[in-house]
Amino acid sequence: MARMKFLCDVERCIDCNACVTSCNNEHDVPWGINRRHVVTMDDGVSGEKSISVACMHCTDAPCAAVCPVDCFYFTPDGIVLHDKDLCIGCGYCFYACPFGAPQFPEENSFAARGKMDKCTFCAGGPLPDNSVEEYKLYGRNRIAEGKLPLCAEMCATKALLGGDGDVVSDIYIQRVVKRGGRPDTWGWNTAYNFKSEKEKKP
């Protein structure tokens, strides 16, 4: 059984924000809301790294665990989706999500949030596939059309990979082997206090 996953190769991401733009355009996301965003570390400094982040469709999703009305569900291929008819806009998922994926497009008075909105892995919602209602509430359903998320499909440097986790990891492993080094995953050097050969022998 396939499990759909995103992976962003930080060595390839050039902070072009095309993934963000394509997502906003494909799903007609309201102005000022981004289902996907690009985070840049050490911006402007040599060796800066960028990573494209959205809902990572966690296997054990914390958003679903904290939702008081259980509006989240999982498709057979591991995509985390939610029902906006059940969502009460409490914002618990926003606090629980480590990736900042949940968004609240409607802002009302007294800080009342509207329904939560997030990346759907281009799989729409619980309404009939590619119906007008589904498009209005959740955006386009590319998965039902046999297509993968647009952000990953149109990434110019193929930094953002999206699809079956096994395929995605195979592609990434091949790249790492080709580069001939350890995977330069975000934070690896910091976490393991890694020093380059130059630093070891000045």
Sites of contact with other proteins (CB under 8 A)? 1-2, 4, 69-73, 75-77, 79, 81, 83, 85-86, 123-129, 141, 143-144, 146-148, 152-153, 158, 161-164, 167-168, 171, 174-175
- Dihedral sign of CA atoms 60, 75, 147, 168 in order: positive
What are the Cα distances from residue 161, in Å, to 31, 65, 120, 164, 175?
25, 26, 15, 10, 12
Q: How far is the CB of 138 from other proteins (least distance, A)?
A: 10
N- to C-terminal Cα separation, the chain: 50
Q: How far is the CB of 75 from other proteins (least distance, A)?
A: 5
Q: How far is the CB of 178 from other proteins (least distance, A)?
A: 9
Q: How far is the CB of 103 from other proteins (least distance, A)?
A: 19
Which residue reads 């070891």 in tokens? Answer: 200
Comparison of 12 and 100: residue with beta carbon closer to other proteins? 12
Nearest to 138 by CA among 68, 74, 192, 84: 84
Which residue reads 């955006």 in tokens? Answer: 139
Comparison of 100 and 171: residue with beta carbon closer to other proteins? 171
Comparison of 32 and 146: residue with beta carbon closer to other proteins? 146
